[in-house]
Chains A and B, each alone.
Chain A
Amino acid sequence: MRDSTDLWLLMLACAAATYMWRGLGVLLSGRLSPQSAMFEWISCVAYALVAGLIARIIVAPSGLLGQTALTDRLLACAIAFFAYRLARRNMFAGMVCGLVFFMGAVYVRSAIL
């Protein structure tokens, strides 16, 4: 996957695989009820996959985040979530608190070590 042409082709294949659902929705609309067991399953699969993705990025990241401490990443998530709830579901309050804590923790660690 190092080759750039391969990367472009892979991206386009992913775009087509994403569009498939959108296009199907247009073609089937009016003929299919969104309240069926199959759609519940689809929703669960998509939701679980994205949850797995975020869990994996936070617990075992690659690239830049891989150089940071697991404790810092987990604490940043917890702090962001509680700030979000305390600020009445304000996304920005959550993000700012989480990120400020995270960068502070990374800084303190690099200063100590």
Chain B
Amino acid sequence: MAEPAYQQHTLAFRAGVGEALGVPAAVLGAGFIGYGSLAADAGYSIWLTLSATLAIWALPGQLVLLEMQAGNAAVAATVLAVSLSAARFLPMTLTLMPLLRTGGRPRRLWQFLLAAQVVSMTTWAVTMRRFNDMEADARWHYFLGFSLVCIVASVVFALIGQLLIGALPPLARFGLALLTPLYFFVTLVGEARSRSAITALVCGATTALVLHAVAPAWSLLGAGFIGGTAAWMLQRRHARLH
């Protein structure tokens, strides 16, 4: 009954593609269609939008880059802020890679390093959940299929957003410009269930708004360092008391 290995790989790949083609691709599409229109508004060429999506591949970081450029922030501050917004990739790849590595066919380091580039919040959340009831060897192909759809959907929708903004009537343009911030607002506020997440949200938003009035170019870095550290300390104190 054992099917040839290539067939199992194809099945796992297809399962990943199929899973991604539903809600994940649609949600990413909504985020990236807004990103494309914001990028066009900021003067990006189509090639820059496309390359930023593939090279950075983290919507929050891409938005930080747009925002800080609009505020004429210093280059070092911009790179640091984008990097900090992506710091959660470290614990994400840290937990994902062992699951991709164990059991399956031995793979080379460069394959894992390449796989790390296509990890996103969405792929991480879904694959970590699915990997439990999946054979070790199927995981790699499932992951690739899932990631491929996410990337293609995001790039396509980013380009649609970029091209659409010039063709739409002004009213729809305003709607498109609010799409991504609104998407993040609902995601952040709606998904913040743990105490530490809520504390970090409130501290970050407050710090950013206060700093924005005083030193706009530093408001995002300040929100991360000051707001994030404050949230972390509050959380630790709370954990000690209870």
User: Which residues of A are interface residues toward B (Cβ below 8 A)?
Assistant: 1, 4, 7-8, 10-15, 17-26, 28-30, 32, 34, 37, 39-65, 67-68, 73, 76-77, 80-81, 84-85, 89, 91-92, 94-95, 98-99, 102-103, 106-107
B204 x A29 contact (CB < 8 A): no
Instruction: Contact check, B67 vs A57: say whether CB atoms are below 8 A apart.
Output: yes
- Residue picked from B79, B197, B236, most chain A C-beta under 10 Å: B79
Identify which of A20, A23, A49 contacts B223 (C-beta below 8 A). A49
Tell me which residues from 89 to 109 in chain B have a Cβ below 8 Å from any Cβ of chain A.
89-98, 101, 109
Q: Which 6 A-B pairs have the closest CB atoms?
A: A52-B223, A25-B93, A48-B204, A52-B208, A49-B224, A45-B228
Contact of A52 among B56, B70, B220 (CB under 8 A): B220
Could you tell me the dominant secondary structure of chain B's interface residues? helix
**Contact A21–B87 (Cβ < 8 Å):** yes
The answer on a CB contact under 8 Å between A21 and B89 is yes
Can you name the residue of chain A whose Cβ is closest to the Cβ of B99? A29
Which residues of B are at the interface with A, using a C-beta cutoff of 8 A?
A: 26-27, 30, 38, 41-42, 44-45, 48, 51-52, 55-58, 60-61, 63-65, 67, 69-72, 75, 78-98, 101, 109, 112-113, 115-117, 119, 171-175, 177-179, 181-190, 196-197, 199-209, 212, 219-225, 227-229, 231-232, 235-236
Q: Which of B44, B91, B113 contacts A34 (CB 8 A)?
A: B91
Q: How far is the CA of A9 from the CA of B184 in the complex (A)?
A: 27
Q: Could you say which residues of chain A place their CB within 8 Å of the CB of B196?
A: 40, 43-44
Whole-angstrom distance from the CB of B174 to the nearest CB of chain A? 5
Q: Contact: A13 with B86, CB < 8 Å?
A: no
* Chain B nearest CB, measured from A1 CB (Å): 5
* Assembly CA distance A19 to B87 (angstroms): 10
Cβ–Cβ contact B235 & A53, under 8 A? no
Contact of A53 among B67, B175, B236 (CB under 8 A): B67
Interface residues of A, dominant DSSP? helix
Query: Do B79 and A12 touch (CB < 8 A)?
Result: no
- Decide: A29 and B207 in contact? CB cutoff 8 A: no
Q: Which residue of A lies closest to B73 (CB)?
A: A1
Q: Which of B171, B181, B204 contacts A103 (CB 8 A)?
A: B171
Contact A28 B201 (CB under 8 A): no
Residue of A25, A32, A67, A106 touching B92 (CB-CB under 8 A): A25
**Neighbouring B residues of A12 by C-beta, 8 Å:** 55
Q: What's the nearest-Cβ distance from chain B to residue A34, in Å?
A: 4
10 contacts between A and B (CB under 8 A): A13-B79, A14-B78, A22-B89, A25-B90, A52-B220, A52-B223, A52-B227, A55-B205, A56-B219, A67-B174
Are B85 and A46 neighbours in the complex by a CB distance under 8 Å? yes
Q: Which chain B residue lies CB-closest to A18? A: B86
Q: Is the CB of B200 within 8 A of A51?
A: yes
Q: Which of A20, A89, A106 contacts B174 (CB 8 A)?
A: A106
For A24, A25, A47, the residue with the greatest tally of chain B CB atoms inside 10 Å of its CB is: A47
Min distance, Cβ B226 to any Cβ of chain A, angstroms: 8
On whether the beta carbons of A39 and B91 are closer than 8 Å, the reply is: yes
Contact (Cβ within 8 A) B55 A11: yes
Chain A residues with CB under 8 Å of B96's CB are 25
